[in-house]
Amino acid sequence: MRSGHLSIIQNLWATEPCAKAFWSQQELPPYRRLLADTIAWADPKAGERWLDLGCGRGVLAQSIWEKSEGRVAQVIGVDCAAVNADHFQRLRGRLGPVSLDRLRFVRHNFNEGLNLFADGTFHHAVSGLSISYADSLDTASGAWTTAAYDRLLAEVARVLAPGGRFVFSVNVPEPSWAKVGFRSLTGIFRCRRPLRYLVDSWRMLRYGRWLKQEARRGRFHFLPWQTVTAKLQAAGFAEIEHRLSYAGQAYVFRARKPVPTEAADAW
């Protein structure tokens, strides 16, 4: 991992070592809890089209697929790290085979919005510990802003069909990785490769330090739930709920894109 001045401007998420460091995150018991909480609120059904934002290796995409017993119409995972594409390819083989059209990885930097998708493309969207990393630098002042984060929420609202749910997790302000680590200790006894588990956990901790440092600078956004709620409202979402998960170090949010009144009346 490179650190120091370079990390101030470079987005390490797009690099292979950073992407790979989080591939075994799903083995941590607090992450398993977070995944279960997210999928319970997502509640995918047959025929639905889903977006997984900041999908990484596709753990949420896979869970959406499996929870619906392979009956969702489509899951598209979006992530800035190209190396995640290999995992989606393997996943398609393992789950089916499943066609590329139904389970696809798209390399894309969500700081730029979601202009590759038309309005109302998806029935619902999920995101696991990812949207906090939408970063935007105001070149005039040299200060980090929440412009990309705010735009991303508005973009999710745009690409959802009316009535669509956005279920996502974000870290709490000043998350304690030590608490996540402590609750993960039991995972060592259950995993098949304890040494790899320890090495991967150590790597995640190192990147975790970088994430917290950048959040303090205002680049990444570990926000109080009240702020996230206000931002979701500003982006046009309603029926906003949240709960704590991930050893108390992340919120899971569920919000809905309202159905326009005329359409709701017609039902």
**Cβ atoms < 10 Å from Cβ of 10:** 11
- Distance, CA of 170 to CA of 227 (rounded, Å): 12
State the minimum distance, in angstroms, from the CB of residue 120 to ligand SAM. Answer: 21
Euclidean distance between the first and final Cα of the chain, in Å? 54
Q: How many CA atoms lie within 13 A of 208 on its CB side?
A: 19
The smaller minimum CB distance to ligand SAM, of residues 68 and 84, is found at 84
**Cα 202 from chain centroid (whole Å):** 21
Report which secondary-structure segment, H or E, holds 89.
helix 84-95
Residue 255 CB partners (closer than 8 Å, separation 6+): 165, 166, 232, 237, 238, 239, 240, 241
Which one of 7, 15, 89, 111 is in contact with ligand SAM (CB under 6 A)? 111
Residue 46 CB neighbours (<10 A): 10
- Binder among 25, 62, 63, 68 for ligand SAM (CB under 6 A): 25
Q: Judged by CB under 6 A, which stretch of 64-72, 114-122, 123-131, 229-237 contacts ligand SAM?
A: 123-131
Q: Which stretch binds ligand SAM (CB under 6 A): 96-104, 126-134, 137-145, 191-199?
A: 126-134
Q: Give me the 183-202 binding string for ligand SAM, x by CB under 6 A, dash otherwise.
A: --------------------
Q: Provide the token pair at 88.
A: 């989606």
| Contact flag: residue 114 with ligand SAM (CB under 6 A) | no
Residue 129 is a binding residue for ligand SAM (CB under 6 A): yes
177 or 237: whose CB is closer to ligand SAM?
177
Q: Considering the complex, what minimum distance in angstroms separates the CB of residue 126 from ligand SAM?
A: 8
Residue by residue, DSSP assigns 98-138 as --TTTEEEEE--GGG-STTS-TT-BSEEEEES-GGG--EEE
CA 203 to CA 44: how far, in whole Å?
32
Under rule CB under 6 A, residue 91 binds ligand SAM: no
- Of 42-71, which residues contact ligand SAM (CB under 6 A)? 54-56, 59-60
Q: Which one among 30, 128, 164, 187 touches ligand SAM, defined by CB under 6 A?
A: 128
Distance CA 209, CA 213 (A): 6
Nearer to ligand SAM, 199 or 264 (CB): 199
Residues in contact with ligand SAM by CB under 6 A are 13, 19, 22, 25, 54-56, 59-60, 79-81, 109-111, 128-130, 133-134
